[in-house]
Amino acid sequence: MGKPTGFMEFPRNTAPYRDAGARLLDFREIYTPHDDNRLQSQGARCMDCGVPFCQSNDGCPIHNLIPEWNDLVYRNQWREALDRLHKTNNFPEFTGRVCPAPCEGACVLGITDPAVTIKNIEMAIIDRGFAEGWVVAEPPAERSGKKVAVIGSGPAGLAAAQQLNRAGHNVTIYERADRIGGLLMYGIPNMKLAKEEVVNRRVRLLEAEGVVFVTGRSVGDGANGTVDIKALKAAHDAILFATGATLPRDLPIPGRPLKGIHFAMEFLTANTKSLLDSNHADGNYISAKDKDVIVIGGGDTGTDCIGTSLRHGCKSLINFELFPKPSEGRAADNPWPTWPRIFRTDYGHQEAAHRNGEDPRVYSISSLEFQDNGNGQVKGVKTINVEMKNGRFENIPGTEKFWPADLILLAMGFLGPEHAASDPLGVSYDERSNYRADYGNYATNVAGVFAAGDCRRGQSLVVRAINEGREAAREIDRFLTGSTRLP
């Protein structure tokens, strides 16, 4: 695919973000306009490898036809590239923005040279498709008469709903928040994923295709205004749980009840809702303005807390990471094509370095105690340095330190799904509290009830949630009709 000698002629050239100083002044997306010449030369780098590991299980969980659309972009055949992209991915405008791109980690070219800029090309294809008017609603030609309720409107729920709707079933999505999107709406900030221009644009298409949305309604046992899950099951031919892994991992050390300590999703959700409701004029968010902020935990969520705090105008910002600083290249126990565990600088780290002159991350550090200012408000955290010995973290004596902070954000991942909607049905859980349903089948122990995405597999990527939503839709269609044509 691509130009036969392109990988030898063209170096990797990723699309730049907007200037760090400029983008800190707003919550608009960080991306710059697509450059067709750059994208075509990057598509030309795709090297016609014998086995395209980019679309393997180590690369792309939805098995995107990456070499094909790389070649089509190189040849300036954008409409055909969009058709190939949509064969495997319902929402490339989401993955092209927020996916960490395991496909690039598995790129064969990456064995000896920097990988093809697959993520940039994917985003450009779908953005071109919307700009040209090629992406349109595709309602089914006829209806099956079967009804499916999807609980949760994140990427797994939306992908399943679109597939089931296209198979002719009547699909209703129940979302407890006031807006559709789940993680896409409130878990990922605007500067990475625009809500009106990107998320709501896709939601409107799903509505035009016939998917029905019910917002602001929690599903449970019917008490306190919740939708009764038993009544919901009785009124539908199948149920899909796609509720995500929403229980955050806590840090139960002394001082945890102090004011000013929040889970990352409390901070990010309130920020986005207030931004969308009133451009922050209502004040209904946790402000980092003029505060010393500490973010505990790395990963994408930690980075999003960094970027949001900087946009609020925080006084200072530090990011604690328990693990040591990764190496610049792959370690011996991290071979290609597995995900490369290497040092990366994301948009929030760039912005912190631009404003404060240095990377905000502090590695190999563990929190011991949150300290009180005397009025029930956190004034900082006491830490100790750690090192790994025999697979366990051990404290290094004499390295205790106090770090001042007015706002501490816990971004340490998630433990599993909430069970209020599933307990009344007697759904079984695995040892990690996730819904017990086999991968590839997605059926729970309750007939007609399925589970997909993070609530089934645990915290993971948007692209894996889309994969599970698509596959769960296939199995639900098979359950409803006895056979299926869904991929």
The SS3 call for residue 371 is strand
CATH number for the domain whose boundaries are 147-246+415-481: 3.50.50.60
Gap between the Cα atoms of 267 and 451, Å rounded: 28
Specify the fold of 250-412.
FAD/NAD(P)-binding domain (3.50.50)
Angle of helix 200-209 versus helix 155-166 axis, rounded to 10: 30
Please give the average per-residue pLDDT across 365-371, as a whole number: 98
Report H helices in 279-362.
299-312, 347-356
Domain ranges of the chain: 6-132, 147-246+415-481, 250-412
Residue 34: closest CA among 133, 124, 148: 124
pLDDT confidence of residue 3: 85
Gap between the Cα atoms of 158 and 139, Å rounded: 15
pTM of the predicted model, to two decimals? 0.96
Same fold, 147-246+415-481 and 250-412: yes
- pLDDT tens digits for range 264-293: 999 999 999 999 999 999 999 999 999 999
Please give the average per-residue pLDDT across 366-391, as a whole number: 97
pLDDT confidence of residue 48: 85
Gap between the Cα atoms of 405 and 261, Å rounded: 10
Residue 2: closest CA among 53, 47, 66: 47
Class of the CATH-defined domain 6-132 = mainly alpha
Residue 187: closest CA among 406, 461, 422, 418: 461
**What Rg, from alpha-carbon coordinates, does the chain have?**
23
Gap between the Cα atoms of 335 and 339, Å rounded: 8
Please give the average per-residue pLDDT across 66-87, as a whole number: 97
pLDDT confidence of residue 391: 87
